[in-house]
Chains A and B, each alone.
Chain A
Amino acid sequence: MPFSKLDTAAVARTLSQIAEQADDVVDAFFERREEVELAPEGDPGGLRVWREEGFAVRLVREGLTWMASRDAIEARPFAESLRQVARAISAASYPEPTLEVGPPDPVAAPELLDFPGLLSRAVRAHHVGFPLRVAVRRHRRWVQVVGPRLVAGAESESFYSCAVESSWGRYGALLPRLSGGAAEEIAATAVALFRARQALPPASFRGPVVLAPHTVAVLLHEAVAHALEADTLAQGGNPEAAVGVAMAAPCLDVLDDPSSAPEGVRRTTDDEGAAAVRRWLLRGGIVEQPLADALWARTSPVLLPGAGRRGTRHLPPGPRSSHLEILPGEASEADLLAGAAEGLFLPEASRGALDPLTGEFALHLPYARRFRRGALAEVVGPCVLRGRVADLLTRVVAVGAQAKPAGAGWCAKGGQKLPVWATAPSLRLEDVEVAP
């Protein structure tokens, strides 16, 4: 832990000097990040290493936020930053707490070197062979948040990302660890995309669709998690007015729980040092607890902090989801595909987009499969599932009995790119529109 030697008490005492009013929010956010990437074969910079550390000091007073950040963890820049956020005259001096942090570890990531080979073998095991450009990266991050009265425990995250490029497209995944299973998961998706490369998009379709866990995770990340972020809700009015609204079918229970995320990315506190909450976003389809950070939680007693996340020290935190959990139902795979009507099975989603003002939603699908009379049939090409969130989510009629880790990916909002994780079962929706 790089911050084990950080004198957090001294930092807290220093911060208390600028918290002049009772309602002031003051904190210091220290972070260290390390990323190590094995570039695709032939690209320059074979092993690529990025290391950074720094801090941000923040003062929030009467709805206004002042923040100063630096690319160093040193006493003088820290005092300078305090002076900046306190908007004090340049002659004003603040104490310079000793900011000692541990040295970085030596650069070593042997697990990255083996993964492209593991992936190639996993692809060949599907009895196909095609050229792939593989980049695999290890992400590590350590965070320490200090307030004038409260010092949160240090947090750390470690995970991997893998980007696979071929002549028919690009596929990316986030992985808690690199293993044979992770290679097989990526290989299976790459092979499915390869086999669907010449499939024609379906004609406009309205009917039943079954979403695999990965697609469910992307759908609910966009349509529930983003829609219930306090700042997104505020675009349309008062965020607390969302509480109690029936947003989805009664069979849908959706939580955000950073503490049950995959090992390596589990969090007990958020990026503001507040305790992470097992938060029911939807209980029985009804909105229970929108996502809020410290600032939004101050605007209403209904909103709880604990979902403040920041992509970098140079940007202020905002309310975001970390680990979405969709509770399983009782439907077996056969139940989900059953029925006389022909439908579409949606195994993968490449991206989703929500217009928070109109509620219009689009989920882009790189390929799909038809199903009829309980069995999967031919593959169809790229298509888009469209609808209005409030309408779409009420069309969920069955929830699969098996939830599994799925849909981990990068989420970008407001210039901040964050990893997001999910555990989801399959879902069946009726009377849904899918168009080419």
Chain B
Amino acid sequence: MSDLDGILRAVLKRHLSDAEVYVKRGRSRRLERTPVTETASTSQERAWAVRAGNRRASFFAAATGDPTPGGPWPEPVPGHSLELPEPAPLPAWSTPSDFDTPLIGEREGLKLLESLGRELEAELPKARLLRAVLEDGSSEAELANSRGLRATTRGRISTLYLEAAGPGRPAVSASLYVAAREPRRFHPTALARRLADRLAVSAAGAAPERDGGEILLAPNVASRVLAGLLPLLVGPGPGSRLTGARGRFGGDRVTLIDNGRFPGGAFEAPVDGEGVPTREVVLVEEGLFRQPLLAWWQEGAAHGEASGCARRPGWRDLPAPGPTHLYLKPEPRTPVATLLGAVSQGYYLIDATGPGRFDLATDRFALPVCGFAVQSGRASAPVAKAWLCGGIGTFLKGIVGVGRDLTFQPLDGMIGSPTLLVTGLELRAVAGS
């Protein structure tokens, strides 16, 4: 690694009070299969970023290669202040053993993609994978700032993107994107089944004009709704907007947590992108709003304690507050079958089929979904091209059942939820208020 102190000294000579150097090394393998092409690539990255400034002016410079004390550094621009965090005691941390696993091999990776195609066809004859991309990478980063903070982190993440077409013409399509710490956690049969379900309901389903009832949201749907609520949960701004007179944000089954150290999580790390220790933060506890997610420099701007939540996906990015593993706490004793059995008349929504619309000012949301109509706990008809619509407050207060199947999705950070049973929402053919 580079002489970070030498670089800090050189930058601080420019009449600046704060400076930070971040150096990152990474390697990745990318495997892609389409019906006509197969691509295997490897990348090695090495790059750095420097932030420096004072209460009046600052700059940010980032480049590939190794940083040198001579820069060249841009001129700090007035009107853009910069302050950096102080060192803080680091709670005990041991690097997870799977950080050391080598990247997936070319043959192994291509076999995984090939098996996904086979499994999909087994689940739904004549369905085909249009595109499958597996990326597997690991990295190490080192950070030093002029206030004496020093940190090193490691990362290990794999992502899988799948795009598939169903049988018939015109064929319906479906895609999914998942992330895990290493590729062996991707289960071809489960993923193929999820795609096949999506394709099957999309081909045969229709949307009700307008209907309500009890609605069971699979983790993929519930996570998308939670991701839409992030502006309420991150930063000192509007977090309390949805709280009632007694601080109630949601039903008493709603406990929302963010944890940068979530065991086995894709972004599990002892410190955040500025070197501040990560920890578990309870944002909503049994429906009561406790605090928003606050970075160190936001402490005091809202009730609550700050945590290491400045994300830094890569050397090109400036650190910005956001969730790492934000999730709705599961209920370990409630299997999904119990929740489904409790639905007398309603819907089981298995997937979100596109981005949602969230209007926090008017407290409304609409999310495109697919799934099944349910009667007496059993699927009665496929549902597709439907919109899950309702009030955001209604969603949070209408959660009457929480499953145990916590699943994370790579959205804005890893956002996780178990299956949720919700009342008060509607399913519509057209998104609307």
A-side residues, CB < 8 A to B, are 36, 38-39, 41-54, 56, 63-72, 77, 84, 104, 106-107, 113, 231, 234-235, 295, 299, 314-316, 355-359, 414-415, 435-436
Contacts and interface: CB of A to CB of B under 8 A. Distances in A.
B78 interface: yes
A315 B28 CA distance: 12
B37 A51 contact: no
Nearest to A40: B80
Interface in B115-132: 130-131
Contact of A48 (B45, B57, B59, B131): B59
A77 B44 contact: yes
B63 A50 contact: yes
B82 interface: yes
Nearest to A107: B74
**Which of B59, B73, B82 has the most chain A CB atoms inside 10 A of its CB?**
B59
B77 A38 contact: yes
Contacts of A54: 64
Interface in B133-185: 133, 165, 170-173
Contacts of A52: 47, 63-64
18 contacts: A38-B77, A44-B80, A44-B82, A46-B59, A47-B59, A47-B60, A48-B59, A49-B60, A49-B61, A50-B63, A50-B316, A54-B64, A64-B37, A113-B77, A235-B165, A356-B173, A358-B170, A436-B432
Nearest to A232: B130
B60 A45 contact: yes
Contacts of A44: 51, 53, 58, 60, 80-82, 318
B75 interface: yes
B41 A41 contact: no
Contact of A106 (B44, B72, B316): B72
Given A51-B61, A107-B74, 15 more contacts: A44-B81, A46-B76, A46-B80, A47-B76, A49-B62, A53-B64, A64-B40, A65-B39, A65-B41, A69-B42, A71-B64, A72-B65, A355-B173, A359-B170, A415-B133
B360 to A, nearest CB: 12
A42 B58 CA distance: 10
Contacts of B432: 436
B46 A235 contact: no
Interface in B277-298: none
Contacts of B89: none
Contact of B59 (A49, A77, A359, A415): A49
A65 B57 CA distance: 47
A235 B130 contact: yes
Nearest to B18: A44
A337 B165 CA distance: 41
Contact of B82 (A45, A104, A113): A45
A67 B64 contact: no
B46 A72 contact: yes
A104 B32 CA distance: 34
A63 B36 contact: yes
B23 to A, nearest CB: 12
**Which of A41, A63, A107 has the most chain B CB atoms inside 10 A of its CB?**
A107
A285 to B, nearest CB: 21
Contacts of B80: 39, 41-46
Interface string B75-93: 1111111100000000000
Nearest to B170: A358
Can you list the 4 inter-chain pairs with the closest CB atoms, starting with the nearest? A46-B77, A46-B80, A45-B60, A67-B41
Contacts of A45: 51, 53, 58-60, 80, 82, 318
A46 B78 contact: yes
Given A46-B59, A231-B34, A66 B41 contact: yes
